[in-house]
């Protein structure tokens, strides 16, 4: 994963013969009785590793991306596995902290780790990512401290991190709005001449993340129009986790997202979002094309939201437990570990070390969250505009005077 290494992560760069080639006798998953975008047996879906970790044979669907996977190393595999485990643990801590009253809200990514890690590791340092509000795994891959995420959902800061420090934009709560932001930024990259130069340290691309529900928003469709017409270096990454809060795919669209890209004039690709090798390969290919001036791509990562939409949601009201049980068998961490063990990419002590690191990071971020100081009340009025604004200042004075009145009456301001 030379495009975006994990600093300080030890491992051997040497590539093992046959370590990423297909397992003997393994072919593509045969279509079930129900095929199409409502099934994860769609023959158009790019897959490289099945639910048990077996490396699938090269076929017509995954062939365009096979070389990327076969060029990966054991260190690449260990990096991805480590990411998957740590991201899941960070997410679990966020959920627990909200339930204990430490966070106001938490949108879990449980089940979507492979989609986010695969895409996140495909980005180069100069690329820019525009997330929604569930992209904790991409944030991790871009070097954003999880404590910063907690600070935002705890309500003690104005966003959580410096977007330009890691080329990772602030979370966008307005569904689909980030797709327009990403397209505009990508158009800027083109205007600056930072694509198609052949310089790997200069050529840049943008990746915009949304869920299947976001594809119904006007902003999403407008962004695709602009990107197509301008041939912008942007990759639209749709995490189809099957549910837009309580609305299933069947009630959201007839034509699946990856096929809809053709109507806007650029390619769409369907990838197994629980297969980290496939998501990495497809994302890397699309980003390479964007950087070289070949225009946008839409990737639909077919995955599943194992938990609730957010901690204010109860998924048992709209989906069956049997459905969740089926998707448990497709778990990305189980899949990646099985692949690594079968191919000799890591020994037992590596997996033990990752588990221990997950425990350590959980302790650190939990302690940091609980010790966050409450901000001064007046800071909510800061940074509303780049310059001082008389109406904002008047609101600030009224607000502070209102709270001061409680203190004067002997109450708690």
**Which residues does the annotation mark as catalytic?**
305, 309, 318
Backbone angles phi, psi at 228, to 5 degrees: -65, -45
Q: Which residues, 6 or more positions from 351, have their beta carbon under 8 angstroms from its beta carbon?
A: 81, 337
For residues 375 and 188, give the distance between their C-alpha atoms in angstroms, rounded to a whole number.
36
CA-wise closest residue to 170 among 217, 135, 127, 198: 135
Handedness of CA 368, 373, 377, 381 (dihedral sign): negative
CA 7, chain centre distance (Å) = 20
For residues 214 and 286, give the distance between their C-alpha atoms in angstroms, rounded to a whole number.
20
CA-wise closest residue to 159 among 167, 171, 168, 147: 171
CB 111 within 8 A of CB 158: no
CA dihedral 247, 252, 254, 260 (to 10 degrees): -130
Pairing of strands 128-130, 268-272: unpaired
CB 287 within 8 A of CB 122: yes
For residues 97 and 91, give the distance between their C-alpha atoms in angstroms, rounded to a whole number.
10
For the beta carbon of residue 190, count every other beta carbon within 10 angstroms: 18
CB 219 within 8 A of CB 173: no
DSSP state of 299: E
Q: Which residues, 6 or more positions from 267, have their beta carbon under 8 angstroms from its beta carbon?
A: 261, 297, 298
CA-wise closest residue to 194 among 126, 114, 267: 126
């Amino acid at each position: 994963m030379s495009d975006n290494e994990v600093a300080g992560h030890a491992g051997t760069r040497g590539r093992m013969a046959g370590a990423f080639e297909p397992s003997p006798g393994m072919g593509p998953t045969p279509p079930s009785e129900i095929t199409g975008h409502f099934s994860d047996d769609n023959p158009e879906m790019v897959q490289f590793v099945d639910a048990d970790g077996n490396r699938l044979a090269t076929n017509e669907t995954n062939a365009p991306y096979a070389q990327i996977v076969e060029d990966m190393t054991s260190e690449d595999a260990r990096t991805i596995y480590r990411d998957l485990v740590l991201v899941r643990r960070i997410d679990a801590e966020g959920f627990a902290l909200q339930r204990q009253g430490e966070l106001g809200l938490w949108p879990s990514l449980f089940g979507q780790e492979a989609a986010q890690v695969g895409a996140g590791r495909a980005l180069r340092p100069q690329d820019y990512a525009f997330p929604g509000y569930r992209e904790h795994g991409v944030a991790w891959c871009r070097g954003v401290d999880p404590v910063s995420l907690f600070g935002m959902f705890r309500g003690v800061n104005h966003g959580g991190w410096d977007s330009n420090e890691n080329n990772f934009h602030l979370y966008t709560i307005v569904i689909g709005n980030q797709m327009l932001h990403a397209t505009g930024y990508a158009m800027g990259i083109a205007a600056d001449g930072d694509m198609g130069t052949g310089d790997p340290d200069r050529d840049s691309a943008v990746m915009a993340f949304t869920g299947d529900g976001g594809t119904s928003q006007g902003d999403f469709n407008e962004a695709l129009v602009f990107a197509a017409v301008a041939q912008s270096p942007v990759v639209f990454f749709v995490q189809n986790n099957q549910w837009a809060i309580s609305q299933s795919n069947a009630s959201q669209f007839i034509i699946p997202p990856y096929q809809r890209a053709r109507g806007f004039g650029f390619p769409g690709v369907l990838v197994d979002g629980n297969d980290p090798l496939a998501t990495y390969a497809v994302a890397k290919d699309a980003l390479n094309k964007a950087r070289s001036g070949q225009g946008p791509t839409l990737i639909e990562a077919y995955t599943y939201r194992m938990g609730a939409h957010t901690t204010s949601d109860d998924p048992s009201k709209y989906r069956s437990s049997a459905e969740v049980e089926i998707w448990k068998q497709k778990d990305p961490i189980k899949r990646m570990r099985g692949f690594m063990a079968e191919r000799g990419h890591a020994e037992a002590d590596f997996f033990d070390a990752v588990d221990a690191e997950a425990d350590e990071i959980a302790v650190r971020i939990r302690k940091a969250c609980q010790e966050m100081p409450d901000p001064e009340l007046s800071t909510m009025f800061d940074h509303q505009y780049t310059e001082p604004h008389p109406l904002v200042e008047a609101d600030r004075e009224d607000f502070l005077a209102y709270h001061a009145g409680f203190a004067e009456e002997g109450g708690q301001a």
